[in-house]
Amino acid sequence: MLSAASSLRLTLGDTTADLLSAHAVLPDGTIVLAVDAMSRTGGLLVAARGHRGAVRVDVTHLAPVAVRSRVRDRLRILGTARRFDPAALDACDPATVMSLLDLPPVALWAIEPDEILLDRATEPVAVDLGTYRAARPDPIAVDEAAHLGT
């Protein structure tokens, strides 16, 4: 869900920013954000750096076709911000490296998940960090809309 999403909502304190095509997910589940360090959001990330749970990332998973209720799930991640360490590339597969290269050419931030909540239609479910880190992207999810349209 997180890897296939083209956008996400970043909340730092009382400030919210919608990021479009500005994130990637590392194999260990760390979220990498491309945010201009000279922007208000970049400044807030600097201030939040190292504070556990200070960063909130919200992702809404929408059905890629016109249906009555397009929202499938919502994912909320509370995490800790830090500067992206390029040494993390050593543990990345070529597809992840390419997704990082596709990010806008601004400062890269790593969001280390502390708490994860999956909000489904029935009730919210806390996701164990080990389970989250072990999950792998669904290879079909990114191209799902194209397959459904044919």
pLDDT for 35 equals: 95
Q: Which residues pair with 108 in a beta bridge?
A: 34
Torsional sign, CA 124, 48, 24, 39: positive
**Of 90, 109, 88, 133, whose CA–CA distance to 39 is shortest?**
109
Digit-coded pLDDT (tens) for 28-51: 999 999 999 899 999 999 999 999
**Of 23, 8, 20, 14, whose CA–CA distance to 48 is shortest?**
14
Taking the whole predicted model, whether its pTM rises above 0.95 is answered as no
The three-class DSSP label of residue 122 is coil
Identify the H or E element spanning 57: strand 55-62
CA 105 – CA 144 distance, rounded (Å)? 28
